[in-house]
Structure 1
């Protein structure tokens, strides 16, 4: 017999269930069905408060990501504080020159395109007066 391949979301849900045995107890006690749990997991995600009511621990990876973000920000701030303001000014000037060079190259390529004529030419005076 040929076994049907599962949808990737079903495989992820199975991993979620393996990591949270409280879900198995929830179904065995008759409080929920697998279909209900899957739909809630699919719609709400793993970090929803619904899982805490069942006894599922929310993903510790979310906390780790938060710590990584804070570490990254503190690293950047620490680096900036240690830098010399003159050195920062030098880097900003170099970046400005590089951007200017890029703009020059782009404008050269755009110069080869035909110029668009203005659609409407306004008269010099809004009222036209004629001599009688």
Structure 2
């Protein structure tokens, strides 16, 4: 035998449908359903306290998936409308520019190693205890 719900609970459910931001507050552990119900029951649905509650809820996983599908569709349409020869030309130009930059960097590094002469070294003797004749 199913229990009949109190009319206030049904009204509260309708109120929550009108203010989906309340679900986020419960999910974020700011409030419990019991606390919200008690506030709503005491204050009523017209109280200024409910004006601060966002009227939209966070996107659900399904809504996020749909927006991701829209993004993929948009990317696919963009790729279809691209001119492959023009893209290849841009890539070739970028490759040439990077090669030129790399050549300049290499030439500067080459000059740096040429200009830096090693410090004169002291003659090393093979035997540290070798004596010189007078």
Report the TM range for the smaller structure's normalisation.
0.3 to 0.5
State which structure, 1 or 2, has the greater radius of gyration over its C-alpha atoms. Answer: 2
TM-score by structure 2 length? Answer: 0.39
**Relative contact order, CA 8 A, sep 6+: which one is greater?**
2
TM-score by structure 1 length? Answer: 0.40
